[in-house]
Structure 1
Amino acid sequence: MQEVLKVSGMTCQHCVDKVEKFVGELEGVEHISVHLDKQEVAITFNPPATLADIKEAILDAGYTLA
C-alpha cells in the first residue's frame, strides 16, 4: 500500500530523520520519503503495518497530521 500524509511541524533535516526513524521502526514499512517543502510523508507499507500505526508513530515523533 502507498499513502501520502500531510504532516505539520517539520522544519529541518533533524525532523526528516526523526520521522524516518519512528515510522521506519514499524514492521512492514518498506519505504519512507519525507518532503519538507510540501510538508508531506510518502510511505509504502504492507501488513502488519497499518495506516493507524503510521499515523500514531508520526504523532509520537512530535508532529501533527494536517
Structure 2
Amino acid sequence: MESTYTVEGMTCGHCVAAVTEEVKQIHGVTDAVVVLDGGKLTVTSDAPVDFDRIVEAVAEAGDYTVA
C-alpha cells in the first residue's frame, strides 16, 4: 500500500533525512521516500497507517507539519 503526503517546513537534506528516519520507524511502514522539492512524502506499508501516526512521526523529526 502506498500513501502520499505533503510535508511543510523542510529546508535541506538534513530535514529530509530526519523525516525519513522517523517515518520508517512506524510499525508496518516498509519504506518512506521524502523529496525536498515540493515536500512530497511517499509511505509504503503492509497495511494502512493511521494519519495521526504520520503526523506524530513528522513532528518528532523537527518543526515540520503534514498537509
User: TM-score by structure 2 length?
Assistant: 0.82
After superposition, what is the alpha-carbon deviation per residue over 1:7-66, rounded to whole angstroms, capped at 9, x for unaligned?
111111101110011111112111111111111101011348433212211122221122
Report the identity percentage: 39
Equivalent residues of 1:5, 1:65 under 8 A apart? yes
Show the counterpart of 1:8: 8
User: TM-score by structure 1 length?
Assistant: 0.83
Amino acid at match of 1:60: E
Amino acid at match of 1:24: K
Aligned residues between the structures: 66
**Which runs of no fewer than 5 residues in structure 1 stay unpaired?**
none
Q: List, as ranges, runs of 4+ consecutive aligned residues in structure 1 with deviation greater than 4 Å.
A: none
**Which runs of no fewer than 5 residues in structure 2 stay unpaired?**
none
